[in-house]
Chains A and B, each alone.
Chain A
């Protein structure tokens, strides 16, 4: 008994010693998948957050204090995302949270942020459920109903497709949601979904599903997944002689899609947050800065992360305090924030109202096709 008491006293002393915060710093917690299946997005997100933080600190920080960005790697796993966020809140005493792009991970983390009243800003989680956990959860990207609808309309009206197939990742909330909204809109437009097949994140073999699909002769295949699987699916689809365009969402936006998919991905379309060849000087200027710092062209997650971090810093400045409730109120009042990905207004459901772009792969490069307003 005595021993146990001594231990708990020691533990308390240890915790108190560790959690001492610097008065001249504002701690912002970030959780990203720096390793794992979606590491490319996680690292890009981290780069975006870090770049925004550095720039802000160089310009005097927020409320006269420097921002300290503390990063936790969630390894691309939902259960790790939850514990990362708990660690950020309870151990690092983060005043606000940034992350995740993956809806599954944001959904795992959001209840904790809500419980501890720490505002959380997701930069890339497009599943509607994410912000439904409570009034402390925000996002700075568009949501899947908008994305799914836009792709269905684009397929039906612009490409003239009447028979589409779907291949969704059943382990992923983002993919399942996006598939559902695409299907609803496409059917409402009088199109037919001829096949609805599924796979699980991490799979490498899709030929069986594609073979079953091919027999039903779709004119396009909607694959609302992430780049790793999409690249492999594209290759295997072409191998089996499926030559129709593939359609997808913002989960495709990584240089890896073309690296893995090679020629197989050419001619396919996906909806995205921004296009690299957008002539807007704001966009080109950002790309130049990012390239100089990290040596690669930023993907959407990097741009979204940069916007989300800047929007959060702006809100803390407007709140005039690092109190959770005040930051929350300032975030909710965001109106027409000028981001790289477009003007961002937070609606009453704490989602961002903004436009999307449709991009086509050509010779391994995404080319701007169309812009769809909110």
Chain B
């Protein structure tokens, strides 16, 4: 039981990271019907930005908590700008092109970010400074809940709460849902579709940036290719939850995180990645619309 609980804790902290990335996939798919394969690399840029912001703040024995806030905010701002730049430069000129063109462009952007990253940051891994000292916060039975997983889960939940508020209770959110429902109809009733698409990219990329920093805290090795696998896993999470569906991305993220942790704990770590993709195959065969998705109706 103790092992099970500990694996669950491990899984939940990864799950919340996958969920944050998956939300970006799902939101962009919701408004544009585009699978933004560059999204995993935006997450990598988030981790790298966090690393450099943290270095600028100085390497000290113990960082005050506001350092973490600054690092996360810095990564979110840079990723938001990057996200909107990608949208304006790469996707907007292709708005009327066939969907496959945009998809291939997304793969191109992904490669560009990966290899430009290797050029700028160097190919060898970097090590994220220890912004938060790892110590047990409290115990459940014999299981220690330490500071880092706790912070990851809390920060993710706060960000998801803010997102939910924006989508459900603001005009921007209402416009997003309208664009997701029907871009043409939204345009006709006066929704500024281009601006809403940009805002969607800003929000999704900012969340990926935050996820990059959180991963840097949890597993401090970051490199320019770290976005590939994490991006694929988050994509699987988005599909499992039902692509285009925000709560679905959340559930998919936790589902992948926890099942990976269980597989490497009880079977072998060699099967971890295989298992995630096996899940994708199963879900596509059994319930292609995903756990929360509805056939033919898509939401932001």
Contact = CB atoms under 8 A, between A and B. Distances in A.
A212 B261 contact: no
Contact of A209 (B14, B134, B146, B265): B265
A212 B269 CA distance: 12
B3 A259 contact: no
B49 interface: no
Q: Which 7 A-B pairs have the closest CB atoms?
A: A204-B219, A208-B265, A39-B124, A208-B264, A35-B123, A207-B10, A211-B6
A208 B148 contact: no
Majority SS at the chain B contact face: helix
A355 B3 CA distance: 42
B265 A232 contact: no
Contacts of B148: 239
Contacts of A204: 215, 219, 221
Interface of B: 2-3, 6-7, 10, 14, 122-125, 127, 130, 134, 136, 144, 146, 148, 215, 218-221, 260-262, 264-266, 268-270
B144 A211 contact: no
Interface stretch (A7-15, A195-203, A331-339): A195-203
Given A39-B123, A239-B134, A259-B127, A211 B7 contact: yes
A36 B270 contact: no
B264 A40 contact: no
15 contacts: A37-B125, A40-B124, A207-B10, A208-B260, A208-B262, A208-B265, A209-B265, A211-B265, A215-B2, A215-B3, A231-B127, A232-B219, A235-B220, A239-B146, A260-B220
Interface in A205-249: 205-209, 211-212, 214-215, 228, 231-232, 235, 238-241
A214 B270 CA distance: 20
Contact-residue bracket for chain A: 20 to 34
B261 to A, nearest CB: 5
Interface string A38-70: 011000000000000000000000000000000
A208 B269 contact: yes
Contacts, number: 76
B265 A36 contact: no
Given A35-B124, A198-B268, A205-B264, 16 more contacts: A198-B270, A199-B269, A200-B270, A206-B269, A209-B264, A209-B269, A211-B3, A211-B7, A212-B3, A212-B265, A232-B221, A235-B220, A239-B146, A241-B136, A259-B127, A260-B127
Contact of B269 (A203, A215, A240): A203
A240 B124 contact: no
A143 B122 CA distance: 33
A231 B128 CA distance: 12
A232 B221 CA distance: 8
A312 to B, nearest CB: 27
